[in-house]
Structure 1
Amino acid sequence: MTSTLRRAGGFAVVGTLALAAPSLGAAAFAPFAAVALLAAFVIDDGPLFELFARPGDREDGRLNGLAGFSLAATGLALLATVPRERMPLTVFVATVLILAYGNLGARLVDTQFDDEFIHSAGFVAAGTLAGTLGQATVVSITGDPLDLARFTFIAALGALVAALLRSALYERDDPVVMLTVGIALWGVDWLAGPITPIQTGVSLLLTVALGYAAYALGTASVAGMITGVLLLLVAVGFGGFGWALALASFFGIGALATKFRYDRKAERGVAEGNEGARGTGNVLGNSAVSLLAVVGFAAMETIGYQLGSDLFVLAFAGSVAAAMSDTLSSEIGGLFDNPRLITSFKRVPPGTDGAVTWQGELAGIGGAGLVAGIAYVSLPLPIPNSTAAIAILVGGVVGMTVDSLLGATVEGAGLGNQAVNFLMTLGGAVGAVVAWIPL
């Protein structure tokens, strides 16, 4: 057994202390606080030190990693027991176990495979299982109802958030990851409505299948894949399958458009970098507005504000329509000659920021229309649905135009591609809402 695997097992044992929280009540923080004090000030040599020590710990002569992990768990335990509006104990336990056992699962698969995707899959699978069982254990002690569908959804969401953060940070940053995941799941638990077993099962199968396909086909990096499936899971939990269908259509068709005649686009200098594999920044740039919209919709549904719900549905669909429209216009339009700068209509070389072709514009309009059609049949649009669908189409075209205008004026000089994508999807969301008001 490798030292990293033994260390992961040791952290898993410490994380299991969270299961004592229902019995300890207000003293739920005590076991973790004790471990933190021992790690920081007492254990500086011997078998326990060697078990938990990370490379940097040996240089300092102190178990910084274990102390940080335990302090983060202490903080979450206090949030679950002290404030009037407390973090649910199920969320606290799930968060700690996701980190502890997710890392153990990742280390287990590392002993057999040297692959980033399998490492992340091991983390998410083990974290989801541990987080689900942890929540079930809590309610078996407290006597609250057992809701495996909800527990599994929350655990899977937390494991994906943790895996994404860990892909961008260092192992020593696990305390930051734990606190972030805990706060995020607290919000999810408050916002998400009832979650059925079918909803959880189908959404997990959908996200796993699409995530693996994206990575296997090279349309996304591991971090980009995790980001995409996380967004799909949020869409299902906060909105429903129709929301995920709209996002999945963009991810799938956009990825295929990026790969379409990729070599030809590479020769012309208009191809997406990294062999067309989109990373976290690209996925978030195109989907952050839709994520905010679906969370806003869930909040409006929670407080019962129908107009707010309607506006967020339109904003969500408009942002997705803009992302689809912009992707198809650039990926298809880049294959044709004689592009013109949108601000002056002068001919410019292929690949020039802000350049458009009539073929690309038609492809973009078609992409926006496709998302509007999906929204018409699958989203809870304001009545009449046909008017809302027209507004979404308009929003998609507005977003595509905003991207071209920004590309011709400020992209590269002050804004990066991800920022332009964010503003483009924001333009699509606002465009759909503004177009719907007079209609």
Structure 2
Amino acid sequence: MTTTITTTLPPLSHHHLRRTNLPSFHKPLISTFPKPSPMHFIPLTRLRSTTGSNIIIPNLPTLHNAILLVQSSPPTWQSAIFTNLLIFLLGSPVLVTGLSVSGIVAAFLLGTLTWRGFGPSGFLLVALYFVIGTAVTKVKMAQKEAQGVAEKGKGRRGPGSVIGSSAAGCVCALLSIYGAGGKSFTRLWELGFVASFCTKLSDTVSSEIGKAYGKTTYLVTTFKVVPRGTEGAVSVEGTVAGIMASILLASVGCFLGKIKVAEAVVCVLASQIANVGESVIGAVLQDKEGFKWLTNDAVNVINISLGSILAILIQQLVLRYWLP
């Protein structure tokens, strides 16, 4: 026989329960450090190579800051100067083939102004002009030198040539930087900028190709046959090459978004009218008594200014009623 014993336990009250104080984890055990400021620069890292020489390399934050500076939008004077210093240092082997030392200094000022006014796309347009212009200047250099029609210094251009080629573009850049005329005029200054370099590239290519390959050169005012290199002379070969160069640069400007398709046509048209005007000035006035001041650089300024102004006038008088 089995006997069952039942025991009744008293209920537990809250006095019997002990509260255990456990550590709180609502705060992180590891403190977080503040993120470095984007403009915070850390000193360069100095390493010692196996040969014992010191190697200085920039650390990652510094490189990051440099990239941010180059990518500044809209461009600032600081970003324009820094970017041009970097480009000119890396591109110095190419620059010295087409420019004298003083010409490089003038080109640096032009590049800085262009980057500040029209950004990387404007700078790229000027760089393309420089590359093509330098290349055609070198074409058949020995032949040109033998005929006495080559550019001085093996085609390396000085500050006068740089200024003569870019004066109108620099004015357009300054007008854009300081907002002359308000936002509605910004596109006009871009158009004038592109047109000025289309004009100058067309002039350079037509002149250099004409001196290298022109079979017959004619004086633009009388169509009389004259020797190559005569002021105011034109050739079929040079003229065709100049038109193609203008079309190329205007197309690049359109591709980069600086101008519209119809405005690219305007740039080509304005450049050819300006180049004819330059040839007339060269034939009628240059090297004549009382016009000794009218040097090639001075004529270049007149030429590119005329091309720039014509493009703006055509846009205002014609295209503004057709383009949206």
TM-score w.r.t. the length of structure 1 is: 0.53
Pick from 135, 153, 168 the counterpart of residue 274 of structure 1.
Answer: 153
Give the 3 Å change call, closer, same or farther, for CA 393–306 of structure 1 in structure 2: same
Secondary structure class of the residue paired with 1:340 = strand
> How far 1:199 moved relative to its partner?
6.8
Question: In the aligned structure 1, how far is the partner of 2:113 from the partner of 2:247?
Answer: 24
- Are 2:208 and 1:331 aligned? yes
Question: In the aligned structure 1, how far is the partner of 2:258 from the partner of 2:303?
Answer: 24
> How far 1:306 moved relative to its partner?
2.5
- Are 2:234 and 1:356 aligned? yes
Pick from 304, 312, 315 the counterpart of residue 433 of structure 1.
Answer: 312
Larger strand fraction of residues: 2
Q: Which AA in structure 1 matches 2:153?
A: N
Question: In the aligned structure 1, how far is the partner of 2:184 from the partner of 2:277?
Answer: 26
Pick from 67, 70, 88 the counterpart of residue 207 of structure 1.
Answer: 88
Question: In the aligned structure 2, how far is the partner of 1:274 from the partner of 1:252?
Answer: 17
Q: Deviations over 1:183-233 (max 9, x none)?
A: xxxxxxxxx955499877654432333344221x2x211000111122112
Q: Deviations over 1:89-144 (max 9, x none)?
A: xxxxxxxxxxxxxxxxxxxxxxxxxxxxxxxxxxxxxxxxxxxxxxxxxxxxxxxx
Give the 3 Å change call, closer, same or farther, for CA 194–235 of structure 1 in structure 2: closer
Contact kept, 8 Å, 1:269 with 1:350, in 2: the verdict is: no
Q: Deviations over 1:295-317 (max 9, x none)?
A: 111222xx781232121111111
Contact kept, 8 Å, 2:99 with 2:157, in 1: the verdict is: yes
Give the 3 Å change call, closer, same or farther, for CA 242–296 of structure 1 in structure 2: same
Question: In the aligned structure 2, how far is the partner of 1:288 from the partner of 1:234?
Answer: 11
> How far 1:399 moved relative to its partner?
2.4
Q: Which AA in structure 2 matches 1:353?
A: E
Contact kept, 8 Å, 1:319 with 1:395, in 2: the verdict is: no
Give the 3 Å change call, closer, same or farther, for CA 194–229 of structure 1 in structure 2: closer
Show the counterpart of 1:372: 250
- Are 2:267 and 1:392 aligned? yes
Contact kept, 8 Å, 1:324 with 1:367, in 2: the verdict is: yes
Pick from 112, 118, 133 the counterpart of residue 239 of structure 1.
Answer: 118
Pick from 290, 311, 315 the counterpart of residue 169 of structure 2.
Answer: 290
Question: In the aligned structure 2, how far is the partner of 1:196 from the partner of 1:316?
Answer: 19
Number of aligned pairs? 247
Structure with more relative contact order (C-alpha pairs < 8 Å, separation 6 or more): 2
Q: Which AA in structure 2 matches 1:366?
A: M
Q: Deviations over 1:329-369 (max 9, x none)?
A: 00001122320000111101111100000110001101111
Question: In the aligned structure 1, how far is the partner of 2:158 from the partner of 2:90?
Answer: 18
Structure 2, gaps ≥5 residues long: 1-64, 320-324
Secondary structure class of the residue paired with 1:263 = helix
Show the counterpart of 2:104: 225
Question: In the aligned structure 1, how far is the partner of 2:182 from the partner of 2:149?
Answer: 45
Show the counterpart of 2:45: none
Secondary structure class of the residue paired with 1:337 = coil
Secondary structure class of the residue paired with 2:166 = helix
Larger helix fraction of residues: 1
> How far 1:428 moved relative to its partner?
1.0
Question: In the aligned structure 2, how far is the partner of 1:436 from the partner of 1:329?
Answer: 25
Show the counterpart of 1:305: 182
Q: Deviations over 1:29-56 (max 9, x none)?
A: xxxxxxxxxxxxxxxxxxxxxxxxxxxx
Contact kept, 8 Å, 1:395 with 1:432, in 2: the verdict is: yes
Rg larger in structure: 2
Question: In the aligned structure 1, how far is the partner of 2:209 from the partner of 2:99?
Answer: 19
Give the 3 Å change call, closer, same or farther, for CA 368–411 of structure 1 in structure 2: same
Q: Deviations over 1:3-53 (max 9, x none)?
A: xxxxxxxxxxxxxxxxxxxxxxxxxxxxxxxxxxxxxxxxxxxxxxxxxxx
Give the 3 Å change call, closer, same or farther, for CA 224–197 of structure 1 in structure 2: closer
Secondary structure class of the residue paired with 1:400 = helix
Name the Cα RMSD after superposition.
Answer: 2.6
Question: In the aligned structure 2, how far is the partner of 1:279 from the partner of 1:334?
Answer: 21
Question: In the aligned structure 1, how far is the partner of 2:156 from the partner of 2:228?
Answer: 21
Contact kept, 8 Å, 2:116 with 2:177, in 1: the verdict is: no
Give the 3 Å change call, closer, same or farther, for CA 194–275 of structure 1 in structure 2: closer
Secondary structure class of the residue paired with 1:363 = helix
> How far 1:278 moved relative to its partner?
0.4
Contact kept, 8 Å, 2:84 with 2:108, in 1: the verdict is: no
Give the 3 Å change call, closer, same or farther, for CA 355–194 of structure 1 in structure 2: closer
Pick from 236, 242, 255 the counterpart of residue 134 of structure 2.
Answer: 255
Give the 3 Å change call, closer, same or farther, for CA 149–411 of structure 1 in structure 2: farther
Give the 3 Å change call, closer, same or farther, for CA 251–409 of structure 1 in structure 2: same
> How far 1:283 moved relative to its partner?
0.7
Secondary structure class of the residue paired with 1:351 = coil
Contact kept, 8 Å, 1:333 with 1:361, in 2: the verdict is: yes
